[in-house]
Amino acid sequence: MQGAGEPSNAEIAAVTAAALAHHAQWCSENGHDRCGGSLLCERVADHETQQAAYDAAARSFDVGALAAEYRGREPSVAWPTTALLRVVHDGLEVVPWAAGGFHRSVLITSALARLGERGILADAIVRLCIGPLLARRVTLHVVHAMAATRRGVVDADALPRQLRGWLTAFAHLPDMDESGLLMSALTGPGIAELNQWIDEAALAHLIVWRRDAQRVQLEPADRVLPGGVDATRWIFDRFTKTRLDEWRTASLQWELAFLDRPEAVCGDAGVPVRLVAERPVSMAMVVSALARRVCAASSDAEVLAGMTASEVMQELVTLTKVGAFDAAVGLAARASSAAPASVELAIAHAFLRIVRHPGAAETELRQILRSSPGQKPLISVNIASCLLRQQGSIDQISELLGDEDVAKSDKLAWLWAPEPLIEGKLLLEEYRISDWVSEMTYCLARAR
């Protein structure tokens, strides 16, 4: 375990590589006397330099940043697998009735075709890997629309036809707050119909969320890669999720096996080694992720309405982005109560309370920090957001952000964007904590 002041694995690797390179140079200048003329000193130094570079590339790999480089462009055979899979994943999360809906469908269909050329089956990706997320996403938007119609905010006839098509599937839900409606919807007969729809509807109709879809019969081999369900999810996880803590345990195990025996494992999975090699992942990263999984509540465990903690987080992001703050807080509270050992969910609940109750959110965050000091970077930036919402002093906020552990953290998190926050507005964005600190520090200096 890395303690305060101890070097990171990346720092150790860099120093080791530099030391070996220095030794190889010294050995060369002395006629390779130390290595007996075998040049082993140079081979070892070269190996460690290459390994350090690989480890650095693995740790800096960012799925979102890579996908952003290709956003809005037409998918092609030259695209990396990450960009293609994220076009499909991110596209299916976007409502099909938004502006550019037809272009969205074209991009998703094109990306699926390019993936198919690499042996990654469209039905496996959409139905198995994205299907549960798609079912929840449709449910969330239908419930949000239903709550609005029941409050008289919008007339049902004014809703997009895709939403109107699904409203009757959830018409049985009683009157309650939006987070309660969502919980009931996710555990009732409506979600069962959605799951069947994902299993049987034609892909073209799934893409546009059409309830009265044409039904298709698929062979089992069309639904997964040759390696089976876990192998399919492994490929999906490694190319769509930056943080290994978000991968399924089985995906981490497949990755570990791949790093040990790449040819054999890829043969079993049914994908070429060159495809998997597009993304570097180090053995140390996988071992650390598995160790964290053992020491904490499993990320695979269901915490609420069939969702894992990671999946709950996805829903909280979506609810927040559509402006359903109260529903997001309600869902976070239910999830945190259902999984009291999850620090991630506890922080998420406090984070969402910053919107309307920043003082209470600050108190909550400070309590979490006392029991979970390892979460100091994430909690500190959120406390800074609380202070801004309460017109706290810039000096107090700067002191929080000046802590070295906070300022240098490369952890990814959903945070309130600095500039809008200073202006009294709220915009949810994903940041590396160090980047958020830099942006906030700049904005605070400009505001002085």
Confidence of residue 149 (pLDDT cuts 50, 70, 90): very high
3 state SS of 219? coil
Within-domain flag for 285? yes
Highest mean pLDDT of the ranges 28-37, 197-206, 302-311:
197-206
Q: Do residues 416 and 344 both lie within one domain? A: yes
My answer on whether 249 and 320 are in the same domain is no
**pLDDT (tens digit per residue) in 362-396:** 999 999 999 999 999 999 999 999 999 999 889 99
Phi then psi for 342, rounded to 5 degrees? -85, 105
User: Between residues 2 and 273, which one has the greater pLDDT?
Assistant: 273
Same domain, yes or no: 339 and 406: yes
**pTM: predicted TM-score of the whole model, two decimal places:** 0.85
The single-letter code of the amino acid at 94 is: V
pLDDT in tens, 225-269: 999 999 999 999 999 999 999 999 999 999 999 999 999 999 999
Q: Give residue 238's domain range.
A: 229-295
Handedness of CA 255, 80, 428, 422 (dihedral sign): positive
User: Quick one: pLDDT at residue 48?
Assistant: 86
pLDDT at 4 over 90: no
Residue 86, in any domain of the structure: no
Is the pLDDT score of 79 beyond 90? yes
Q: Based on the domain organization, do 274 and 316 belong to the same domain?
A: no
pLDDT of residue 8: 72
User: 111 lies in a domain?
Assistant: no
pLDDT in tens, 390-411: 998 899 999 999 999 999 998 9
Same domain assignment for residues 309 and 431 = yes
Q: Does 385 lie in the same domain as 289?
A: no
What CATH number should be reported for the domain holding residue 431? 1.25.40.10
Last residue of some domain: 40, 60, 80? 60
Backbone angles phi, psi at 302, to 5 degrees: -75, 135
Return the pLDDT at 7: 75
Residues 376 and 268 in one domain: no
CB atoms within 10 A of CB 94: 13
CA–CA distance, 66 with 242 (Å, rounded to integer): 10
| pLDDT at 64 (0 to 100) | 93
Residue 95 lies in a domain: no
Same domain for 257 and 393: no
Q: What is the pLDDT of residues 305-339, one digit of tens each?
A: 889 998 999 999 999 998 999 999 999 999 999 99
Taken in order 84, 89, 92, 95, the sign of the CA dihedral is negative
User: Residue 1: pLDDT above 50?
Assistant: no
- The interaxial angle of helices 358-371 and 343-353, nearest 10 deg, is 160
| The token pair that represents 236 in the structure block | 């999906």
The answer to whether the CB of 70 falls within 8 A of the CB of 110 is no
pLDDT score recorded for residue 2: 45
Q: Tokens 């494992």 label which residue?
A: 265
326 plus 285 within the same structural domain? no
Opening angle at CA 430, ends 425 and 433, nearest 5: 95
Q: Is pLDDT at 20 greater than 60 in this prediction?
A: yes
CB-based contacts of 148-155 (< 8 A; 24+ apart in sequence): 150/175
CB 378 within 8 A of CB 369: no
Tens-place pLDDT, residues 112-130 = 999 999 999 999 999 999 9
Q: Quick one: pLDDT at residue 3?
A: 45
State the helix-helix crossing angle for 40-60 and 9-29, rounded to 10 degrees: 160
Looking at the domain assignment, is residue 351 inside a domain?
yes
Residues 285 and 403 in one domain: no
Last residue of a domain, one of 19, 39, 60: 60
Query: What gap in Å lies between CA 48 and CA 439, rounded to an integer?
Result: 35
